Structure 1
């Protein structure tokens, strides 16, 4: 059985048989299409444009889903007819016939093990030490990307035990809501790391990193953290060639804010639609918009937009950039009801497809499953791997080894989410390792920059440039509706940074590909 991060292909010249395969959680990309010549595949979607006898066009439906999710979800890509191979899948092409099968899978809640807290912690420690030891194997310099949060602190502590002179790197910012430097320095000092580097990222560095990233970006991906990883890998590359990260811990052990809302899911599902709409209105009137990281208004609206919604689509709706009614107003060319979250097709079709497997799971397990199969590969792993590769640096995560994944998915829910506490087991292990309570109990902080505020400042010219968005999107996006959102964002009534940034990224990608047209 293969373990690690990879995407590959076998070609048997005698039988003209092709086999494509991708790693368990999609850390490495692989795109393909099939035509009368057979199977065409590449690790970058831009490579397909080198085929001079083909005309590639932008997939409208995939673009609409991109605006909903901020990335090209599951097997979709910007190009019509080009698909991504899903994680843990292989496809075989023989004599023009293409078939696919899953070569690896792990499902939360399947074959749950019976363990107490002591046994769970001991097994985690055993597996994690092994995973860190393997991911640190290298004949080039290795370091750790340290945010000061639970996940990367765990990685640094384990790696330091194995290699005492390990280096660590973090990003600092002047804005306290987004600064990781002070926490990271505290963790590095506690662990005993002697060579920790804190790299300041100001608005000037952001603009330079954004321009560099947009120039190299293969497909639109609007996670602001992509810029952070790009900058961190660029600045650390002179000292290290391999970096260890904490990617995957949130998806395996329940670290995201929506897990806190799971206990209230059945209550809100029973509330009439009219009252949900009234609650949303009340939130926008009573809670001020915030430029901070996931402010109260942002959290409340994100949670409420999943009601009403088909239970199968709820995980996807919680993560979507806008509620359905605003998506419909923003994208008037979409068929009526395309963004309706109560439908099992349309914008949330992919979420419903995964529900067929997860329908027998608990709410926590179903959310874990969606995060692992959809969000982790094409949002988290995508930005980490691509940003690192842009600087010839390899990023690895000890959490994403097959034994770690399978162990996490066999753990009972109480070791992940319990009484509104997240990542229960990981915090328990850190406490056993004598980490200070402020580090163990800190609130979730995403790896990003103050984008809501900086859109009003250094990035304002990018916002103003969206005046041509109807031309850029072939009429898919309404400039009138977008301007309404921009106005409300700029005067602080509502944080619309996600959809604004989505369009900034898409516009930058489109400008670099002027020959492409919408299908």
Structure 2
């Protein structure tokens, strides 16, 4: 895994910016701590930070040239089928100087151009410069596992694995208020937008072609539309296919010339991945976090059950709340764009501890989005199926609205969920999805902002952006429609962003077998009934691997990868809230947030009925920290 950056200068002004390529490359140091190299010619510069995984010799360093010297590549990621591609190329007379997938990718591109993307199984972002045609080609993987930011103005195109690399070239930083409005609802910013108006994220499954005369962004892949056909292949056949596809995916992701392990939380997803990996890697090392002070979220006993059954060398990092909290400032400081999924804290700590033992880790990410694993999927299912119970909850909405709501105990959390469910039932399919995807409604966010900021939000632009995200949800949605939208939105922009940033902050490569594109396509070929019913979520996943997992993993509530955020905000972080980031004078001087609205939200947080105030406060804290570092 690596970090890449580059610049294509259109004129002399743009060429002046090329002096910053080394600085931009250095900004990605944690993505690739092993080697830094840059390439410069008259109008293009490329930078690469290397985390050596395959063929760590100097022959694998980048930017890498082909043997003719015409093409040069900067590549971030892994191509898991590179050996079979290499054999095909060798049979056609191609020769290789290294054992890397980078060189295979470069030669495949030289042979087939953009069509090479259809043959790649992996996760990546890369750039290839043709020194003869003076053309630049940039691409991102199908699902969006690896990131790619870019910015173009009259003088240059800039790109990088993280926003901090683009900032290093010296750019005008104009806040995108439409992105801010969306962030305060969802706690992240969906692609293609970023927090800056002039910087974009390359969408998953897209590429850029750039010459002196033209600039084009085009799709090369989209996940096939979901099937709702209950007359598809038999359930037994579906289970057999899933078993074969997932085991093949795991096996492909075991290639490495450095220590490789697997995250093992004790949930179904990581347990399946670790169990399949152990079949092909007898010395597999597995890792999990234990929460000493939060026994409700501690699943380490289940992880140990799995590890014992499959015979792995298992390590539990048993941490106190204070040990978790000690990383908070480093995490906030690493974020170059506001991102407020608080479970990122746990992923950061797990990645940091795992990196002491391994350079690569497998993960169970993606299974919930593909096979309906979240509470919200059960809620959607209940609405789609209808019935008296759902109507009863809806009709009692006014009562749920009066009840105390918080995540702090079982009863108040139930009231919170019932109120959220009853409110969602009143909305159409798209608005219900949007509301349940976020932590704050459009009206709640509007109240947080000053009139001046609200005036800078282009409502037509915002609605167009929102409609693009929700375009795959029909008036009468199915569970597969919900999951398809999750894979387009939540998966790349929240879940995968979280794992990429927090693992790369610790120079750890994380591989996600569930997101092999063949597994993803299979998931959307099978009907909703294979995934969820009244009694079970992730039905096919649980049934397929039931015989190889400990029975204790079944029939227990999903706990998630949580941190005690509400408790921290009300105790350890109270002074940060009241005296610094949400201090009334700072808020007033900044001019973004309404002072009275922030004061009211703080009051709610510290009350006996906080609701989701902690999630909303957290999103503002993350933004304020980012603002002070990058904008003040």
TM-score scaled by length of structure 1 = 0.89
Please state whether the residue corresponding to 2:532 is helix, strand or coil. Answer: coil
Query: Contact (CA 8 Å) 2:151, 2:198: kept in 1 or not?
Result: yes
Pair 403,360 (structure 1): closer, same or farther in 2 beyond 3 Å? farther
Report the CA distance between 1:133 and its aligned residue.
Answer: 0.6
Please list, as runs of the form range in 1=range in 2, the aligned pairs for 1:393-408 lying within 5 A after superposition.
393-408=508-523
Q: Which digits, 9 at most, give the CA deviation of each residue in 1:227-265, with x for residues without a partner?
A: 111111111211111011101001111111121122443
Partner residue of 2:208?
A: 91
Alpha carbons of 1:461 and 1:279: their partners in 2 closer, same or farther (altered >3 Å)? farther
Find the aligned partners of 1:259 and 1:77 in 2 and give their Cα distance.
Answer: 28
Equivalents in 2 of 1:314, 1:94: separation in Å? 43
Aligned partners of 1:469, 1:353: CA distance in 2, in Å?
A: 37
For structure 2, the residue ranges without an aligned partner over 5 or more in a row are 1-118, 388-392
Structure 1 position 367 matched with structure 2 position 482? yes
Is the aligned partner of 1:44 residue 2:162? yes
1:179 alignment partner in structure 2? 298
102-111 vs 238-247, which deviates more? 102-111
Deviation at 1:280, TM superposition (A): 5.0
**Which of 414, 428, 431 is equivalent to 2:546?**
431
Unaligned runs of 5+ in 1: 270-274
Post-superposition shift, 1:98?
2.5
Q: Which residue of 1 aligns with 2:183?
A: 66
- 1:84, CA displacement in angstroms? 0.2
* Distance of 1:286 and 1:311 partners within structure 2: 26
**Pair 1:321-2:436 in alignment:** no
Alignment-derived partner of residue 272 in structure 1:
none
**More relative contact order, 1 or 2 (CA 8 Å, 6+ apart):** 1
Task: Answer whether contact 2:372 2:538 (CA < 8 A) is retained.
Answer: yes
1:445 to 550, 559, 564: 559
CA–CA distance in 2 between the matches of 1:10 and 1:469? 49
Does 2:611 align with 1:497?
Answer: no
1:325: Cα distance to partner? 3.1
Question: How far is the alpha carbon of 1:358 from its aligned partner?
Answer: 4.3
1:410 matches 2:525: yes
Cα deviation for residue 9 of structure 1 reads: 1.7
Residue 583 of structure 2 is matched in structure 1 by 468
Contact 1:306 1:318 (8 Å CA) reproduced: yes
The superposition leaves residues 299-356 of structure 1 with CA deviations (integer Å, 9 ceiling, x where unpaired) of: 23433444554533432221111233322222243548989xxx9x565643421443
- 1:23-422 to structure 2, matched below 5 A, reads 23-52=141-170, 54-110=171-227, 114-173=232-291, 174-193=293-312, 195-265=313-383, 281-292=398-409, 295-306=413-424, 308-333=426-451, 335=454, 349-359=464-474, 362-419=477-534, 421-422=536-537
Structure 1 position 488 matched with structure 2 position 607: no
Q: Give the equivalent residue in structure 1 for 2:5.
A: none
Write the deviation string for residues 45-98 of structure 1: whole angstroms up to 9, x where unpaired. Answer: 12222234x422222221111111101112111111100001111122233532
- Size of the aligned set, in residue pairs, is 502
State the Cα RMSD in Å: 2.8
| CA distance, structure 2, for counterparts of residue 111 and residue 184 of structure 1 | 34
Residue 323 to residue 56, structure 1, CA distance change in 2 (3 Å): closer
Mapped to 2, the partners of 1:183 and 1:222 lie a distance apart of: 28
TM-score in terms of structure 2 length? 0.74
Q: 1:358 to 1:267 in 2, by over 3 A?
A: closer
Distance 1:313 1:402, change over 3 A: same
Instruction: Return the offset for 1:369.
Output: 1.2
CA contact (8 A) 1:290 1:492 kept: no
